[in-house]
């Protein structure tokens, strides 16, 4: 009897010793809640990282990178392109399982997903897919995409970003509107619980095709109060935290023991868009005066060298097609004043500006305001809350609009949304052309269908030069993303870029 008791105790002890404690990654995000994590709708900073943990594309951005040049196979193992560049054949990985009981991923799911991404009713990224003529499943592991015209960045459209994420057809159809909070993909993590205004919990996908993740669970917490989020990270309750794009924050947390602060691309380009449809900005000389009155290095210096750099063009750095050596207006107050006098405003001008109360945006704009004042340009702020700001600037109510954005890293997207006449606010096709800019339509359109990469870059360069020369907008500075992690966390790659605006948690990510 005694022997039995000892044997049982020994087995129990052994099983306790071998049972591995669950590895939980606690991540703190600066948001009150998720927006939506349907990958074809997710556009906000808090949603995009989650999407990257749940989904795959046919190709993927190398983890830790935000560059199109690093695209590598994901759900597709290889692909072929026709000589005219219009037909693409993708060969899919076989045996890939969707989360839960949603079955195996096939060409049918890929066709469904890409068609869904191209449909304005189900996707926020439909315009990106306007170039697609047809998508069809050749067999369960082969997909054929035919384009209306060849484009150099087709792989970007099928990457694990925005519309390129592959969803389960069965799940999307069965869950309907619920899919936006319970999406089903093939990625390393799957959603198990969503607590509104509190947290989202994901567990590892045991069938992940690259191997079972070493992290068992991710608890993604929504902590809108900056101070509370920072305290939770300092107290060790969070392993990874969304950092503030602020020099002092970076310096403070860099000194905290056991902490790594990472400042990564893509940057958001902060730009001042000048409304050519409003007086006195309809006069090019007034717009030029504003461009001369802006001191870019001073603004970037104020925002902090660790997280901000002066802008180089009207498109952010690192995008396919950005003219990194664009000729921007230098800071010259005397010239600004002379131009105003020449335009008939010797005593200066006043410009009405709808401005958001969001502190980071408001304080940047206050620097711009003080710089312009030196040249006699008075920016008169009407400060409103952030949602009202978004609504009012789209109703063409502001003389100048301060807007900060990152987009898919191809110049076409930025140029089209901010500077093509189709995107002018007020039109049915409007996106974010707040300046009523229409000087570079021909180049933007020609570049979009240009098959020769060098010629295409040249067209984008000309478009940028024209926009800068006409002063549709004055680029100000670029703000990088800031994240901090405990040294106990190893992403499994070098975190230099985050196309998904946050760290990708992969099967290789570990926590000690």
Partner 1 sequence: MLRFVIKRLLLAIPTLWAVLTTVFVLVRVVPGDPTIIILGDQASEASRMELRQRLGLGKSILSQYFDFMGQILHGDLGRSLATNRPIVDDVLAVLPYTIELTIASLIVGTVIGIPLGVLAAERRDGPADWFARIFSLAGVSFPAFVSGILLLMVFSVQLRWFPVISSANAADPLERLRALVLPSVNLGLLMVAYVTRVTRSGMLKALGEDYVRTARSKGLPYRIVVWRHAFRNVLVPIVTVVGLYLGVLIGNAVLTEIVFNRPGIGKLIVTALNQRDYTLLQGLMVVSAFAIVVANILTDLTYGLVDPRVKTQ
Binding site for partner 1 (CB under 8 A): 28, 32-33, 35-36, 41-44, 120-121, 124-127, 177-178, 180-181, 195-198, 221-225, 227-228, 231-232, 234-235, 237-238, 384-388, 390-392, 394, 405, 407, 417, 423, 425-432
Q: How far is the CB of 97 from partner 1 (least distance, A)?
A: 28
Provide the b/e sequence for 186-205 (b: ≥16 CB within 10 Å).
bbbbbbeebeeeebbbbbbb
Instruction: Respond yes or no on whether the N-terminal peptide bond of residue 280 is cis (omega within 30° of 0).
Output: yes
Q: Hey, which residues does 484 pair with through a beta bridge?
A: 241, 261
Q: How far is the CB of 21 from partner 1 (least distance, A)?
A: 17
Nearest to 54 by CA among 192, 173, 177, 174: 192
Nearest to 467 by CA among 271, 295, 336: 271
Nearest to 243 by CA among 401, 3, 479, 507: 479
Nearest to 190 by CA among 160, 170, 220: 220
Q: Can you tell me the distance from the alpha carbon of 187 to that of 512, in angstroms, rounded to the nearest whole number?
A: 23
Nearer to partner 1, 238 or 465 (CB): 238
Q: Are 467 and 474 in contact (CB under 8 A)?
A: no
Nearer to partner 1, 208 or 434 (CB): 434
Q: How far is the CB of 46 from partner 1 (least distance, A)?
A: 12
Q: 73's torsion region: left (phi>0), alpha (psi -120 to 50) or beta?
A: beta
Q: How far is the CB of 252 from partner 1 (least distance, A)?
A: 14
Q: Can you tell me the distance from the alpha carbon of 21 to that of 345, in angstroms, rounded to the nearest whole number?
A: 72
Nearer to partner 1, 269 or 367 (CB): 269
Q: How far is the CB of 123 from partner 1 (least distance, A)?
A: 9
Nearer to partner 1, 294 or 425 (CB): 425
Phi first, then psi: what are they for 243, rounded to 5°? Answer: -90, 165
Nearer to partner 1, 120 or 346 (CB): 120
Rg (CA), the chain: 25
Number of neighbours of residue 13 by Cβ within 10 angstroms: 10
Q: How far is the CB of 85 from partner 1 (least distance, A)?
A: 26
Nearer to partner 1, 279 or 386 (CB): 386
Q: Where are the alpha helices (DSSP H) in 165-206?
A: 169-175
Q: How far is the CB of 428 from partner 1 (least distance, A)?
A: 4
Nearer to partner 1, 28 or 280 (CB): 28
Q: How far is the CB of 78 from partner 1 (least distance, A)?
A: 31
Nearer to partner 1, 180 or 466 (CB): 180
Scan for tokens 């290789």, then name that residue: 508
Nearer to partner 1, 384 or 508 (CB): 384
Tokens representing residue 444 in the block: 């933007």
Tokens representing residue 102 in the block: 């949603």
Q: How far is the CB of 201 from partner 1 (least distance, A)?
A: 11
Q: Can you tell me the distance from the alpha carbon of 133 to that of 207, in angstroms, rounded to the nearest whole number?
A: 34
Q: Can you tell me the distance from the alpha carbon of 47 to that of 220, in angstroms, rounded to the nearest whole number?
A: 11
């Amino acid at each position: 009897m005694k022997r039995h008791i000892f044997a049982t105790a020994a087995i129990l002890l052994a099983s306790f010793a071998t049972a591995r404690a669950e590895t939980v990654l606690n991540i703190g995000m600066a948001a009150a809640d998720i927006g939506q994590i349907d990958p074809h709708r997710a556009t906000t900073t808090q949603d995009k990282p989650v999407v990257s943990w749940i989904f795959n594309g046919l190709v993927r951005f190398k983890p830790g990178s935000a560059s199109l040049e690093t695209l590598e196979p994901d759900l597709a193992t290889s692909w072929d392109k026709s000589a005219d560049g219009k037909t693409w054949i993708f060969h899919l990985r076989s045996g890939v399982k969707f989360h839960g009981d949603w079955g195996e991923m096939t060409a049918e799911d890929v066709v469904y997903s890409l068609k869904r991404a191209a449909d304005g009713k189900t996707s926020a990224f439909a315009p990106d897919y306007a170039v697609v003529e047809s998508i069809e499943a050749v067999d369960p592991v082969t997909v054929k995409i035919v384009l209306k015209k060849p484009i150099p960045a087709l792989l970007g459209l099928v990457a694990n970003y925005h519309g390129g994420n592959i969803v389960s057809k069965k799940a999307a159809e069965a869950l309907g509107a619920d899919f936006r909070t319970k999406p089903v993909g093939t990625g390393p993590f799957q959603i198990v619980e969503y607590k509104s205004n509190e947290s989202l919990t994901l567990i590892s996908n045991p069938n992940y095709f690259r191997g079972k993740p070493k992290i068992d669970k991710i608890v993604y917490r929504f902590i809108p109060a900056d101070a509370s989020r920072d305290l939770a990270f300092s107290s060790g309750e969070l392993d990874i935290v969304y950092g503030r794009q602020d020099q002092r924050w970076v310096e403070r947390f860099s000194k905290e023991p056991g902490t790594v602060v990472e400042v990564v691309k893509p940057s958001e380009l902060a730009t001042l868009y000048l409304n050519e449809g409003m007086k006195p900005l309809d006069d090019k000389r007034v717009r030029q005066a504003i461009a001369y009155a802006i001191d870019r290095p001073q603004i970037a210096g104020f925002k902090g060298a660790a997280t901000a750099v002066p802008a180089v063009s009207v498109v952010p750095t690192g995008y396919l097609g950005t003219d990194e050596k664009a000729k921007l207006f230098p800071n010259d107050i005397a010239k600004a004043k002379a131009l105003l006098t020449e335009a008939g405003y010797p005593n200066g001008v006043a410009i009405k500006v709808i401005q958001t109360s969001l502190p980071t945006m408001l304080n940047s704009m206050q620097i711009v305001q003080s710089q312009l004042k030196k040249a006699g340009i008075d920016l008169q702020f009407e400060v409103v809350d952030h949602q009202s700001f978004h609504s009012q600037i789209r109703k063409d109510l502001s003389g100048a609009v301060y807007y900060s954005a990152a987009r898919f890293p191809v110049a076409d997207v930025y140029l089209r949304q901010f500077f093509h006449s189709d995107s002018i606010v007020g039109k049915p096709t409007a996106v974010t052309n707040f300046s009523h800019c229409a000087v570079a339509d021909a180049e933007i359109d020609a570049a979009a269908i240009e098959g020769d990469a060098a010629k295409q870059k040249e067209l984008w360069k000309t478009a940028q030069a024209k926009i800068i020369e006409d002063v549709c907008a004055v680029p100000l500075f670029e703000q990088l993303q800031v994240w901090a992690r405990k040294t106990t966390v190893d992403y499994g790659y070098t975190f230099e870029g985050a196309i998904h605006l946050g760290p990708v948690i992969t099967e290789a990510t570990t926590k000690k």
